[in-house]
Amino acid sequence: MGESPEDDFGLPAREVSQFWNELQAEHARVLRESGPETVKRQQALRYFTWRWSWSGLRRSEQFRFLLRHSTPIDLLKALLEKTDLDDSSWQEVPWPRADRRLYCVATRLLWQYAERMTSGHGALGLAEPLTGSPLPVSFDGRLISQDLANSALELSAIERGGADKPRHVLEIGAGYGRTAYVFLSLYEECRYTIVDIEPALTLSRWYLSQLFDPERLTFLTPEQIESVAAKSVDLAVSISTLSEMTPRTRDGYLGFLDEVTAGGRIYLKQWMNWHNPVDNLDVRFDDFAIPERWVLVLKEPCPVQTRFVQAMWRNPG
């Protein structure tokens, strides 16, 4: 990674961590070969859709969390629901059948946990779009998904952190757009701006433009962020992103958020501590250069992804 020129926010233009450089290349290859139609079965598994396998189960903190927070009836319901393991329904997902079943059971436990912990905002009442080929997991006879359940939990935290029906949300690193789907569905007045690198930007544009009026959507590369007006964003969101960037890029984005969210709020969900093996970086959430004027309104270990922390600030401007 060579030095690169900085923009007004100190954000090094075009600097992408080696970690994401490698993933970008892999995701672009998959996009070229399969198109975007199977994004929820391919790239999403490296965004925020977690896989569970029998071989890794003993080490899975998420699975342990789900078991600890499930009743015997939850477990029974998760096990007894009809499960489609047929190869034709799991195209592009060459997992053993036992792992497919485990994935369905874990997703149902997560769903029931989210049902208990979220109320009011209605995210779990949304349909999981067939766009992007979601994995065939059903519960109570309907299609459910891990992404919708996680987004519902995140939205509850965001509401607890004081965001009230934001009219302009900006997200840094949106993957294929799972979080945007929830905001744009629940808040009809909301506009959504995504800042991302390729090919995620192409994927989220492809996904969200089919589901929502394109007038509500803006897609920006990191080089285009200066087009976002100061104080124009009510809520900024960034999930599982900043820890994976170079420290300079991450801190540049925090400076950018400081300017555009003045008077609004910021929600971050990131690894608490993480070793980036590709760039050989040890990253601690508590080392992020959070602007001094931000007022912390929420900070807690995340449910389910217990090695993540979620925090929210008010930016007094």
Ligand X SMILES: C[S@@+](CC[C@H](N)C(=O)[O-])C[C@H]1O[C@@H](n2cnc3c(N)ncnc32)[C@H](O)[C@@H]1O
The residues of the shown chain that bind ligand X, judged by CB under 6 A, are 16, 20, 47-48, 172-175, 178, 195-197, 200, 222, 239-241, 244-245, 249
Token pair in block for residue 61:
């903190």
Q: Name the minimum Å distance from CB 253 to ligand X.
A: 7
Q: Which residue, 21 or 53, has its beta carbon nearer to ligand X?
A: 21
Q: Do the beta carbons of residue 304 and residue 274 sit within 8 Å?
A: no
3-state helix, strand, coil in the chain (%, to 5): 45, 15, 40
Q: Do the beta carbons of residue 153 and residue 197 sit within 8 Å?
A: no
Type of residue numbered 314 = R
DSSP 230-296: TT--SEEEEES-GGGS-HHHHHHHHHHHHHHTTTSEEEEEEESEEEETTTTEEEEGGGS---TT-EE
Q: Tell the residue number behind the tokens 């600030």, with chain if given.
A: 313
Q: Which residue, 78 or 152, has its beta carbon nearer to ligand X?
A: 152
Residue nearest to ligand X (CB): 173
Pairing assessment for the beta strands 273-276 and 217-220 based on DSSP bridges: unpaired
Q: Which residue, 78 or 180, has its beta carbon nearer to ligand X?
A: 180
Q: Name the minimum Å distance from CB 287 to ligand X.
A: 18
Q: Which residue, 209 or 240, has its beta carbon nearer to ligand X?
A: 240
Q: Tell the residue number behind the tokens 């792992």, with chain if given.
A: 99
Type of residue numbered 227 = S
Token pair in block for residue 38:
């199977």
Which of 247, 253, 268, 250 minimizes the C-alpha distance to 313?
268
Q: Name the minimum Å distance from CB 145 to ligand X.
A: 12
Q: Name the minimum Å distance from CB 91 to ligand X.
A: 22
Q: Which residue, 50 or 103, has its beta carbon nearer to ligand X?
A: 50
Q: Which residue, 136 or 175, has its beta carbon nearer to ligand X?
A: 175
Q: Name the minimum Å distance from CB 138 to ligand X.
A: 22
Q: Which residue, 65 or 83, has its beta carbon nearer to ligand X?
A: 65
Q: Name the minimum Å distance from CB 309 to ligand X.
A: 14
Q: Name the minimum Å distance from CB 226 to ligand X.
A: 14
93-129 b/e with 16+ CB inside 10 Å = b? bebeeebbebbbbbbbbbbbbbeeebeebebbeeebb
